[in-house]
């Protein structure tokens, strides 16, 4: 188990290094980093002074190695627009986004599990058709359109919930609903397919022959094996939720890192954008590491398979 955890940790460091390198490359390929900071018609001396102050007058390889060495430690310098540490500005907004992501993930897991299990328990029934239709609709509707419709219905028409900001506990409900629609739909379809396959296994027929109740077979036997693909999908969807939060937070004017990232891109605040990408990458790696570890705990065959492969390779 220790070897498995060390291997995942080394993999996470390699992925983080790749993310940092790709971020640097894409930001410099997008054009002059100081295009939004240099005043129009500025004298060459002013432009040269600004480039020197931000360290952009050095050769690109030197900028890259300096950036990577600092970014791997979480040091991105000061935000060009806000004049304070870029990572601190992102971390200040992070709790709001984490709260939104946690609520959306909980909704997706709870609703997707119930719909997927109940649909797989009675394939072809009216409930199964309704669940699959709901899942298909959830995958087809864009989050920004759904968010707009939720605002018009629950904030404008009924006045039940706030339309923007984080005004009390109710301020996170509409953004979470918009953000959770797609992963809920996908999780429903994935768990349904996995449960139907698991329910046809020999050990499930043995459990039925022993007279076990349907609920005990579903939750105590079938779900334990069928949940592994859904667990891996949930870990991947955290990255989708963090990335999708950029659009959803923009629709609802939610005070998270998504809105901050949009402002940073519009203002070409390179340190702020770099810090945002780094924080999101670290969060995705942490969640994937936790879900991978949980999968090994639930199914020790995964750990034994990894040990067998390493033994064969040696």
Residue of 101, 93, 52 lying closest to 244 (CA atoms)? 101
Q: What is the pLDDT of residues 241-291, one digit of tens each?
A: 776 678 888 888 888 888 888 888 877 788 888 888 888 888 888 877 777
Q: Tokens 């993999």 appear where?
A: 11
Average pLDDT, the chain: 78
CA angle 272, 278, 280 (to 5 degrees): 105
The beta strand positions in the chain, using DSSP E, are none
Banded pLDDT at 310 (limits 50, 70, 90): very low
Residue 311 pLDDT: 37
Banded pLDDT at 222 (limits 50, 70, 90): low
Residue 308 pLDDT: 38
pLDDT surpassing 70 at residue 295: no
Banded pLDDT at 36 (limits 50, 70, 90): low
Q: What would the mean pLDDT of 151-165 be, rounded to a whole number?
A: 84
Residue 219 pLDDT: 64
pLDDT surpassing 70 at residue 145: yes
Helix (H) or strand (E) holding 281: helix 270-298
Residue ranges and CATH numbers for the domains of the chain are 2-71 (no CATH), 87-313 (1.10.3720.10)
Task: Spell out the residues 6+ positions from residue 211 whose beta carbon is closer than 8 angstroms to its own.
Answer: none
pLDDT above 90 covers a percentage of the chain that reads 1
Identify whether the C-beta of residue 164 lies closer than 8 Å to the C-beta of residue 89: no
């Amino acid at each position: 188990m220790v070897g498995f955890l060390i291997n995942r940790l080394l993999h996470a460091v390699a992925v983080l290094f790749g993310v940092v390198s790709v971020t640097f490359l894409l930001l410099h390929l997008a054009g002059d980093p100081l295009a939004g900071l240099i005043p129009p018609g500025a004298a060459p001396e002013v432009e040269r002074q600004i480039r020197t102050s931000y360290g952009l007058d050095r050769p690109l390889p030197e900028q890259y190695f300096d950036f990577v060495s600092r970014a791997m430690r979480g040091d991105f310098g000061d935000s060009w627009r806000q004049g304070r540490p870029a990572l601190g500005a992102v971390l200040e907004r992070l709790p709001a986004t984490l709260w939104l992501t946690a609520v959306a993930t909980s909704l997706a897991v709870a609703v997707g599990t119930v719909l997927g299990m109940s649909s797989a328990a009675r394939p072809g029934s009216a409930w199964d058709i309704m669940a699959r239709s709901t899942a298909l609709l959830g995958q087809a509707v864009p989050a920004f359109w759904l968010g707009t419709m939720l605002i018009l219905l629950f904030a404008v028409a009924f006045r039940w919930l706030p339309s923007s900001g984080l005004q009390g506990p109710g301020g996170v409900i509409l953004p979470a609903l918009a953000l959770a629609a797609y992963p809920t739909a996908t999780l429903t379809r994935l768990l349904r397919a996995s449960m139907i396959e698991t329910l046809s296994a020999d050990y499930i027929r043995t459990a039925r022959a022993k007279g076990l109740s349907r609920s005990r077979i579903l939750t105590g036997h079938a779900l334990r094996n069928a949940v592994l693909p859904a667990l891996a999908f949930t870990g991947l969807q955290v990255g989708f939720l963090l990335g999708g939060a950029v659009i959803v937070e923009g629709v609802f004017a939610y005070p998270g890192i998504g809105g901050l990232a949009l402002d940073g891109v519009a203002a070409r605040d390179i340190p702020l954008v770099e810090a945002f990408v780094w924080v999101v990458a670290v969060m995705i790696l942490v969640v994937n590491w936790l879900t991978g570890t949980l999968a090994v705990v639930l199914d020790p065959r995964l750990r034994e398979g990894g040990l067998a492969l390493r033994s064969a390779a040696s």
